[in-house]
Structure 1
Amino acid sequence: VFFHNALPFVGFGFLDNAIMIAAGTQIELSIGVVLGISTMAAAALGNLVSDLAGLGLAGYVEALASRLGLSIPDLTPKQADMWQTRLSAHLGKAIGVTIGCILGMFPLLFFGDEEEKLEEKN
């Protein structure tokens, strides 16, 4: 139950964070410069782009998890309703999205120079 819930959320967290960072940075360096919006406003717009992409990509992440052999646990209705099962599912989702978000920070490795150049101009 834990892994069934964790694996798709690793993918979702990865895509969410990577898209948010990339989109927020590009918004800050393009629209942000023209309109004079703050870094936080650019980050919020990047989050909007990421959330919209997440709506469309969620089904693909789950389909990929199924293709990787992640099968639905065979639980009886009584087992599925147990507090231990619900706790395991919630922990799997929380830990999965945490790992995915940490892995999804990889675009930060590529954007350091552009932000330093932008600060030097100001």
Structure 2
Amino acid sequence: MLLAPCLRRLLRPSLSLAASRGSGARGEGPGFLPCRLGTHSAKEPVEPLNTAQGARDFVYSLHSKERKSLLQELQRFESMAIAQEEMEIKPPSSAQRRYVFLHSAIPFVGFGFLDNAIMIVAGTQIELSIGVIFGISTMAAAALGNLVSDVAGLGLAGYVEALASRLGLPSPDLNPKQADMWQTRLSSQLGKVIGVTIGCILGMFPLLFFKTEEEEKLEESKN
């Protein structure tokens, strides 16, 4: 429940950031496009980008400047990939894998933090207000809190990515073959998993300010 809502990123904010960096950025190949990852798991079926329908839906969701930037980067990437087809490329170095790991982990720390923090605060307030009036259960209040967190995550995803980009962490300098290697993909996935785990744990901080039932009973007895 704590990790699942953090696993899908909005497509448009991520591409807007990529477009702002310009088409000359290195290391932004298929191994790094985080289009399917972000604040929450999908609530509806989504076609993968390796299908015609999925690619069509993705393209139609973009602005004209985003489509132009994406087309330029794809053409550059494919030309590099064709030129390197017959070349023996070494796997990414440990330093490059660390960059991939950090580049993937940092945004997900923010996603996990906001998701859990908002869910806990909203769920608690709903339980203390609507829950008392209508007599809903704690789990129902938690579900409504998760709804609030989902809606807030849709609006905050772009700000989280913008803040992560301002940290100045350079993008991994990889060629197309290295971007598709299993070492790169493994580092990227590990970064996302560990980042969202750290973020969700940090996002539990509102619990420090909530009193337990024993503490409330003790205060009532004193009064």
Alignment partners' CA distance in 2, 1:33 and 1:86: 48
Task: Detail structure 1 runs of 4+ shifted over 4 Å in the superposition.
Answer: 113-118
Paired position in structure 1 for 2:198: 99
Paired position in structure 1 for 2:164: 65
More helix by share: 1
2:138 is aligned, of 27, 39, 59, to 39
Amino acid in the other structure paired with 1:25: T
Alignment partners' CA distance in 2, 1:115 and 1:15: 28
Alignment partners' CA distance in 1, 2:119 and 2:214: 16
What is the number of residues matched between the two proteins?
A: 119
Aligned with 1:70: secondary structure? coil
| Structure label with greater radius of gyration | 2
Deviations 1:4-52 (A, max 9, x none): 0000101111111000000000000001111111000000110111111
Paired position in structure 2 for 1:8: 107
Deviations 1:75-109 (A, max 9, x none): 21111111111111110000000001111100001
Amino acid in the other structure paired with 1:7: I
Alignment partners' CA distance in 1, 2:214 and 2:195: 30
Please report the TM-score for the alignment, with normalisation by the length of structure 1: 0.90
Paired position in structure 2 for 1:48: 147
Alignment partners' CA distance in 2, 1:49 and 1:74: 38
Alignment partners' CA distance in 2, 1:40 and 1:115: 20
RMSD over aligned Cα atoms:
1.9
Alignment partners' CA distance in 1, 2:214 and 2:120: 12
Q: CA deviation at 1:70?
A: 2.1
Structure 2: any 5+ residue segments left out of the alignment? 1-99, 218-223
Seen in structure 2, the aligned counterparts of structure 1 residues 56 and 29 have a Cα distance that, compared at 3 Å, is: same
